[in-house]
């Protein structure tokens, strides 16, 4: 005779052991997952540092076979500047996001396969409603092992509409990234140009100072001889030494400025400070200055229209308004109920089924009625956001107009200041030549000391003139960038812009055609 209590105890003990074993396994897994992830920051820094230095290694020994022109510097900068490369990668990411949003418009296609096993057959008890007697069925309608497959296609019209709006927003966001990249390229060209001209002028001024310094040394040697012959007061030699020291200090300052400008130019071009190159165009300033338009002939109204038609920010503002309009449309569409169409093929390997595969087709309608109030409020908020974007566009328009007038006024001021410095330098040059002539003729009051003093005055006037020249060039380039011009368009005529400047409708139509082509 079997002891039922012993059997029940063994069964209970076995189940309890299984439960404790399962709990111990779960605790071990959780403790393993809860282990703190530690990072060796030193090793990671060294690894990243080696990678970064390997990236910059080819740029350290970069040399240019020919003197570097301004066009070459801008081209190298647009290709290698890290900020531009990051902006370009952001544009590519926006393009990939656009493709992803378009693919979201596809319907859902679900495929699944399942394998089930149970240790006992599925049996049911039946209760007689009249007598309440319980009877056990001896038949089964399901295998202990089941295999099922299904492939279903589901299309939600509401999700499709929202995905279409989101994809259109992604396209416009990608265009905004393109506009931002263009604007950054324009700004980079302006910065490279400023650093380039400053470096060129500093090198030219250094050569000029070396020439003046050599002349002063000749006068100094001559003065030493005259002092030795007791024909000149020694104080004249000391005055020349003082002037020579001032020239040496100016040369040292220019050398430091040249080094700083070159480092800045290398940074803007995406090169290391170890890059070696010579600067061209040292003798083209006169020709370049002749190309600058007369500030008095520039029409502010025409420049306003040019800037409003060309600035990438204006197109970005238009796109941002369209994006906000789509946000309002999406909020409105989300208030409608969702209609879903489903079609699926299913297979069940159960041996008790007469038909192991079949097709389901259906349609459904679902709507969260309690969500309508907050969706309506969200829609009204999005509508107000459209109005805000329009006001922001108006603010941007006003800001661009103000920038044009400020840039034009600054250009006029810099041009006037440069003309004054040019005239002042011309006067000092004439005084220097007249002093040299009178000194050579032996006229009284025009000693070597006076000539060296005139040289120093001419040098200082020349440096002031060149500084004003750099400021004038930077001011004009700022005006061009304010107008939204890329470097390839910097040669266009601003005095008579009507013949070569597209109007706003033409520009918009060109951009729309480019977008359709893309």
Q: DSSP assignment, residue 486?
A: -
Please give the full DSSP string across 255-291, using - where no structure is assigned: HHHHHHHHHHHHHHHT--TT-B--B--TT-HHHHHHH
Kindly report, residue by residue over 280-333, the tens digit of the pLDDT.
866 666 677 778 898 889 999 999 999 999 999 999 999 999 999 999 999 999
- Reply yes or no on whether the pLDDT at 506 is more than 80: no
User: Quick one: tokens of 132?
Assistant: 């309440």
d(CA 186, CA 180): 10
Cα distance between residue 50 and residue 45, in whole Å: 9
Average pLDDT over residues 125-145: 76
Q: Tell me the mean pLDDT in the region 187-203.
A: 89
According to CATH, the topology of domain 61-112+156-517 is Outer membrane efflux proteins (OEP) (1.20.1600)
Of 7-11, 21-25, 104-108, 232-236, which gets the smallest average pLDDT? 7-11
**Range with the poorest average pLDDT among 102-106, 224-228, 317-321, 372-376:** 224-228
Q: Which whole number is the average pLDDT over 111-132?
A: 81
- The average pLDDT across 492-502 equals 68
Give percent above pLDDT 70 in the chain.
Answer: 81
* d(C-alpha 382, C-alpha 231), whole Å: 92
Q: Confidence class of residue 59 from pLDDT cuts 50, 70 and 90?
A: low
Contacts of 159 (CB under 8 A, 6+ apart): 338
3-class SS string, 361-420: EEEEEECCHHHHHHHHHHHHHHHHHHHHHHHHHHHHHHHHHHHHHHHHHHHHHHHHHHHH
Q: What is the pLDDT of residue 32?
A: 60
The per-residue pLDDT for 212 is 73
Give percent of the chain above pLDDT 90: 38
Q: Which residue has the higher pLDDT, 460 or 242?
A: 460
Encode pLDDT of 405-463 as tens digits. 999 999 999 999 999 999 998 998 888 888 888 877 777 766 667 777 787 788 888 88
Of 79 and 25, the structure prediction assigns the larger pLDDT to: 79
pLDDT recorded at residue 283: 60
The answer on pLDDT for 42 being more than 90 is no
Q: Report the chain's mean pLDDT, rounded to a whole number.
A: 81
Note the pLDDT of residue 35. 55
Other CB atoms within a 10 A radius of the CB of residue 464 amount to: 16
- For the ranges 10-14, 83-87, 143-147, the lowest mean pLDDT is seen at 10-14
Distance separating alpha carbons of residues 298 and 291, to the nearest angstrom? 14
* pLDDT for position 499: 47
Least confident residue range of 60-69, 71-80, 288-297, 504-513: 504-513
37 vs 492, higher pLDDT: 492
Give the alpha-carbon dihedral of 306, 310, 315, 317, to 10 degrees: -60
Three-state secondary structure call for residue 360: strand
Compute the average pLDDT of residues 356-378: 91
* In the chain, where the domains are located: 61-112+156-517
Given a cut of 90, whether residue 398 has pLDDT beyond it is: yes
Q: Which two tokens stand for residue 422?
A: 């040019």
Q: What's the confidence (pLDDT) of residue 226?
A: 60
DSSP string, 168-225: HHHHHHHHHHHHHHHHHHHHHHHHHHHHHHHHHHHHHHHHHHHHHHHHHHHHHHHHHH
Residue 513 has pLDDT above 70, yes or no: no
Between 481 and 262, name the one with better pLDDT.
481
């Amino acid at each position: 005779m079997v002891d039922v209590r012993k059997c029940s105890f063994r069964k209970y003990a076995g189940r309890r052991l299984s439960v404790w074993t399962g709990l111990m396994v779960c605790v071990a897994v959780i403790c393993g997952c809860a282990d703190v992830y530690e990072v060796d920051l030193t090793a990671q820094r060294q690894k990243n540092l080696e990678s970064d230095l390997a990236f910059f290694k080819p740029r350290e020994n970069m040399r240019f076979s020919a003197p570097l022109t301004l066009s070459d510097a801008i081209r190298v900068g647009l290709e290698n500047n890290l900020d531009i490369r990051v902006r370009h990668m952001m544009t590519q990411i926006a393009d990939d996001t656009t493709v992803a949003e378009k693919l979201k418009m596809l319907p859902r296609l679900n495929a699944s396969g399942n394998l089930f096993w149970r240790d006992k057959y599925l049996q049911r008890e039946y209760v007689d409603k009249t007598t309440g007697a319980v009877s056990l069925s001896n038949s089964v309608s399901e295998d202990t092992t089941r295999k099922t497959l299904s492939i279903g296609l589901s299309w939600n019209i509401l999700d499709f509409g929202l995905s279409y709006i989101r994809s259109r927003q992604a396209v416009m966001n990608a265009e905004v990234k393109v506009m931002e990249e263009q604007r950054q390229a324009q700004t980079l060209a302006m910065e490279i140009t400023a650093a380039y001209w400053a470096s060129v002028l500093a090198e030219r001024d250094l050569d000029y100072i070396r020439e003046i310094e050599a002349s002063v040394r000749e006068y100094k040697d001559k003065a030493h001889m005259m002092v030795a012959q007791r024909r000149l007061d020694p104080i004249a030699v000391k005055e020349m030494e003082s002037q020579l020291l001032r020239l040496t200090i100016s040369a040292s300052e220019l050398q430091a400025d040249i080094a700083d400008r070159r480092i800045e130019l290398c940074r803007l071009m995406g090169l290391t400070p170890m890059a070696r190159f010579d600067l061209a165009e040292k003798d083209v300033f006169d020709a370049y200055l002749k190309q600058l338009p007369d500030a008095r002939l520039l029409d502010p109204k025409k420049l306003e229209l040019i800037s409003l038609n060309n600035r990438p920010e204006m197109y970005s503002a238009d796109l941002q308004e369209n994006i906000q309009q789509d946000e309002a449309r999406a909020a409105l569409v989300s208030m409608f109920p969702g209609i879903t169409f489903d079609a699926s093929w299913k297979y069940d390997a159960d041996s008790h089924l007469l038909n192991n595969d079949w097709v389901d087709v259906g349609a459904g309608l679902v709507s969260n009625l309690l969500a309508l109030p907050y969706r309506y409020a969200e829609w009204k908020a999005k509508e107000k956001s459209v109005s805000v974007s329009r006001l922001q566009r108006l603010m941007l328009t006003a800001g661009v107009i103000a920038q044009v007038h400020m840039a034009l006024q600054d250009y006029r001021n810099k041009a006037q200041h440069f003309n004054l410095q040019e005239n002042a330098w011309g006067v000092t040059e004439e005084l220097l030549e007249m002093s040299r002539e009178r000194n050579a003729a032996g006229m009284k009051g025009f000693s070597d000391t006076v000539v060296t003093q005139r040289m120093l005055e001419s040098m200082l006037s020349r440096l002031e003139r060149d500084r004003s020249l750099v400021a004038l060039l930077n001011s004009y380039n700022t005006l061009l960038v304010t107008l939204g011009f890329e470097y390839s368009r910097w040669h266009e005529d601003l005095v008579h812009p009507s013949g070569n400047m597209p109007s706003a409708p033409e520009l918009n139509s060109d951009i729309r055609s480019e977008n359709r082509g893309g």
